[in-house]
């Protein structure tokens, strides 16, 4: 069979692409729907409302700020959908005005009422009785008042610098001696809990309390003695938090990034101003002028600002209002069972030598698999070297502690720490310093590229030979997110795969122009080209009557040329099924273009983060997993690794995962040709099929 690898994809018109930013907003709406859905337990509904706000914060700090900068620079529409920055910003404003209003109405109405029914009373400070107010005033005096710093604005006091994502009170005070009114700003301390609990007796509600800003507002007289407080209004600002470091000009990359991090908090321009709807026009206009924001960037709300802090209520001891707890399972082959002689098996390496192992988190335990793999390697006297990439990890990372132990034991430890992982730069710099202090070799990757791949390599002396073991994953080496994100990992000691991973580490840590690998698909070197070849092969199978079929699961589908190749494949008769959690710029179901493509998004208890690619190949299916989405940045601007999965048991599990996701009728949404997402519902009498629940049950029963 001949495969055309260099033929460019057919051109597609702008109307054949959805806008990236609006598609992301659609994804966040699906997150909000989990908060709106009465089937979701109450505290989980609060969690999803908080995630909706947290996601928006990052969206404004990175995507909106970037559009504003392009608009100011006079950039024309260059996106595949043809929208200019101004058109996108206008459309985003309309969308968010509707959806954030919906979120606030949900919380202030239905959710607060349900909270009260279950003994959770988020009270208004003004409505407290005298004993309650006395208790909180004492708390204010002891725990809050000493932290506050009122800042006045007048000729002698310039408008104060405000940190990113800060929640503030704008206070209007009057001097009774002169009648002059002045403006003051008080930052609500983010070092204190957002919600202040009242003391509770055994017969009282589960929790009762007030927002911290209301407690501060109720005691403003303490902060402005002798003055008359004429009014107070909440506001919150969001700053541009993206930055670019010119690596070729930076003598010290770590120092350059540390300097940029310091600027992010205070120096980025304000791209969003959130205010209480009751704020007087004069005060609003004054804030807009001082913060240099336009009316399009102002969002008014009635009720609480910053609903991201609703995460607080997940800490309440109310298991009946949360998802049933899940304890990740230790796969059978990772149990330290006795070997044939009855002696206990000391390492995981024995099992990996028997054949590849696939793990699926959070259904499988991260601690007992990936973390144990690195920990055993660190303490195994036969292990000579450990190499690992760190893109994001936890603040108390046992993975990094194991690497420190390995370096202290004089093993060769090489860690590629990605300093440019957005919003994790400080954490990664701290780990890089700790690893270097322990004697590990720490590198920061390839100039001009982010290192996003998730790979680990262990070199072990076994008899007179050296054997290498690898882990290739779809998610970060982070034990915390491993309990929240669905991710896959492949353990292997196959010669071809370990040789590829070894070559990739040499590319990352040294000087190499290698552009060919045996098994791995590596971005930006071979991944795009090989994906095009695999798509072209399915087109040939479809034309020959063997039936072409592609199933791909990813976080986002954005790359225009990849989308054009999928359109070409569809026109050639290939059936294409896509599970895309977030952004999808491909328009399915268009006659003559994409009528044979369907797109499903699953948003549930866990964040769907794994990437799986299946190509039918005339019945000889090929499966791949890895770290790369089909986005331009993943294909061309990051170091990524995608590995083939060939073990029969692992292949069966991937088949089951894709089947569960494609047939989910609880958390799945179908993308329509007009861009709407329709949520599936079980038909009358049809059992509920929630993919994530089915996978938990399968893991519990030891089915994979």
> Of 16, 233, 364, 452, which one is the catalytic site residue?
452
Give dist(CA 487, CA 391) in Å, integer. 15
- What is the Cα–Cα distance from 459 to 446, expressed in whole angstroms? 23
User: What DSSP string describes 449-477?
Assistant: SEE--EEEEEEEEETTEEEEEEEEESS-S
Quick check: 288 and 273 in contact, CB under 8 A?
yes
Q: Are 630 and 565 in contact (CB under 8 A)?
A: no
Q: Which helix (H) or strand (E) holds 634?
A: helix 632-636
Concerning whether 667 is annotated as a catalytic residue, the answer is no
Best CA proximity match to 306, nearest among 185, 165, 116: 165
**Residue-wise DSSP of 352-387:** HHHS-EEEEETTB-SIIIIIHHHHHHHH-TTEEEEE
* Residue whose token pair is 């310093």: 433
**278, burial (CB in 10 Å: exposed 0-12, middle 13-18, buried 19+):** exposed
* Closest of 640, 413, 610 to residue 504, by C-alpha: 640
Report the C-alpha gap between 704 and 701 in whole angstroms.
8
**Vertex 666 angle, CA 664 and 671, to 5°:** 70
Report yes or no: 504 and 521 within 8 Å, Cβ to Cβ: no
User: Which of the 8 DSSP states describes residue 628?
Assistant: -
> Which residue, among 88, 223, 233, has the nearest Cα to 145 in the 3D structure?
223
User: Other C-beta atoms within 10 Å of 58: how many?
Assistant: 15
Q: Please return the burial class of 604, using the count of CB atoms within 10 Å of its CB with bins 0-12, 13-18 and 19+.
A: buried
* Cβ proximity of 236 and 166 under 8 Å: yes
Torsion of CA 25, 26, 28, 30, to 10 degrees: 170
Q: How many residues does the chain have?
A: 704
What one-character-per-residue DSSP string does 484-526 give?
Answer: TEEEEEEEE--HHHHHHHHHHHHHHHS-------SS-EEETTT
Catalytic site residues? 452
């Amino acid at each position: 069979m001949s495969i055309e690898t260099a033929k460019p994809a057919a051109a597609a018109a702008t109307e054949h692409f959805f806008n990236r930013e609006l598609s992301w907003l659609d994804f966040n709406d699906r997150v909000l729907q989990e908060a709106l859905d009465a089937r979701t337990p109450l505290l989980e509904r609060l969690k999803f409302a908080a995630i909706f706000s947290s996601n928006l914060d990052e969206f404004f700090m990175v995507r909106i700020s970037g559009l504003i900068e392009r608009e100011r620079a006079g950039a024309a529409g260059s996106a595949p959908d043809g929208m200019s920055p101004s058109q996108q910003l206008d459309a985003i404003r309309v969308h968010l005005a509707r959806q954030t209003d919906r979120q606030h109405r949900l919380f202030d109405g239905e959710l607060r009422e349900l909270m009260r029914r279950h003994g959770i009373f988020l009270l208004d400070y003004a409505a407290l009785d005298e004993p309650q107010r006395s208790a909180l005033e004492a708390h204010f005096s002891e725990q809050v008042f000493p932290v506050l710093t009122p800042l006045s604005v007048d000729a002698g006091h310039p408008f104060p610098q405000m940190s990113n994502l800060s929640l503030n009170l704008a206070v209007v005070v009057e001097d009774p001696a002169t009648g002059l009114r002045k403006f003051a700003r008080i930052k609500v301390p983010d070092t204190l809990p957002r919600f202040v609990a009242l003391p509770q007796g055994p017969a009282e509600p589960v929790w009762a309390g007030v927002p911290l800003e209301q407690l501060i507002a109720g005691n403003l007289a303490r902060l402005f003695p002798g003055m008359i407080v004429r009014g107070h209004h909440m506001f919150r600002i969001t700053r541009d938090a993206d930055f670019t470091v010119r690596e070729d000009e930076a003598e010290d990359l770590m120092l350059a990034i540390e300097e940029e991090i310091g600027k992010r908090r205070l120096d980025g321009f304000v791209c969003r101003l959130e205010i209480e709807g009751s704020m007087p026009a004069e005060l609003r206009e004054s804030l807009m002028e001082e913060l240099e924001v336009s009316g399009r960037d102002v969002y008014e709300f009635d009720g609480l600002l910053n609903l991201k802090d609703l995460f607080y209520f997940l800490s309440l001891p109310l298991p009946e209002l949360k998802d049933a707890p899940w304890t990740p399972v230790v796969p059978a082959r990772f149990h330290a069972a006795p070997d044939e002689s009855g002696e206990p098996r000391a390492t995981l390496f024995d099992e990996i030598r028997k054949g590849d192992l696939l793990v699926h988190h959070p259904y499988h335990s991260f601690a007992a698999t990936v973390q144990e793999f690195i920990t055993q390697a660190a303490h195994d006297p036969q292990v000579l070297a450990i190499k690992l990439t760190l893109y994001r990890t936890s603040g108390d990372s046992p993975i990094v502690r194991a690497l420190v132990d390995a370096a202290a034991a004089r093993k060769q430890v090489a860690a590629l720490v990605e300093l440019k992982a957005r919003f994790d730069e400080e954490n990664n710099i701290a780990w890089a310093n700790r690893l270097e202090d322990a004697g590990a070799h720490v590198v920061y990757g390839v100039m001009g590229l982010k290192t996003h791949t998730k790979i680990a390599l262990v070199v072990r002396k076994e008899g007179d030979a050296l054997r290498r073991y690898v882990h290739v994953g779809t998610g970060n080496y982070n034990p915390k997110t491993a309990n929240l994100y669905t991710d896959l990992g492949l353990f292997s000691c196959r010669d071809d795969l370990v040789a590829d991973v070894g070559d990739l580490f040499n590319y990352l840590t040294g000087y190499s122009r290698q552009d060919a690998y045996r098994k791995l698909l590596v971005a930006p070197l071979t991944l795009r080209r090989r994906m095009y070849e695999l798509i072209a092969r399915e087109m040939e199978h479809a034309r020959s009557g063997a039936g072409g079929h592609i199933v791909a699961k990813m976080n986002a589908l954005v790359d225009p040329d990849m989308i054009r190749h999928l359109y070409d494949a569809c026109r050639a008769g290939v059936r294409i099924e896509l599970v895309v959690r977030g952004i999808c710029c491909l328009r399915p179901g268009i006659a003559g273009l994409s009528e044979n493509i369907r797109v499903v998004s699953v948003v549930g208890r866990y964040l769907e983060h794994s990437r799986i690619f299946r190509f039918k190949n005339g019945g000889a299916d090929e499966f791949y997993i890895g770290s790369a989405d089909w986005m331009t940045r993943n294909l061309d601007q990051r170091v990524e690794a995608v590995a083939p999965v060939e073990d029969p048991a692992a292949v069966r599990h991937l088949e089951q995962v894709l089947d569960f996701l494609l047939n989910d009728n609880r958390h799945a949404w179908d993308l329509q040709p007009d861009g709407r997402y329709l949520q599936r519902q079980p038909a009358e009498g049809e059992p509920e099929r929630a993919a994530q629940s089915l996978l938990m049950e399968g893991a519990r029963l030891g089915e994979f």
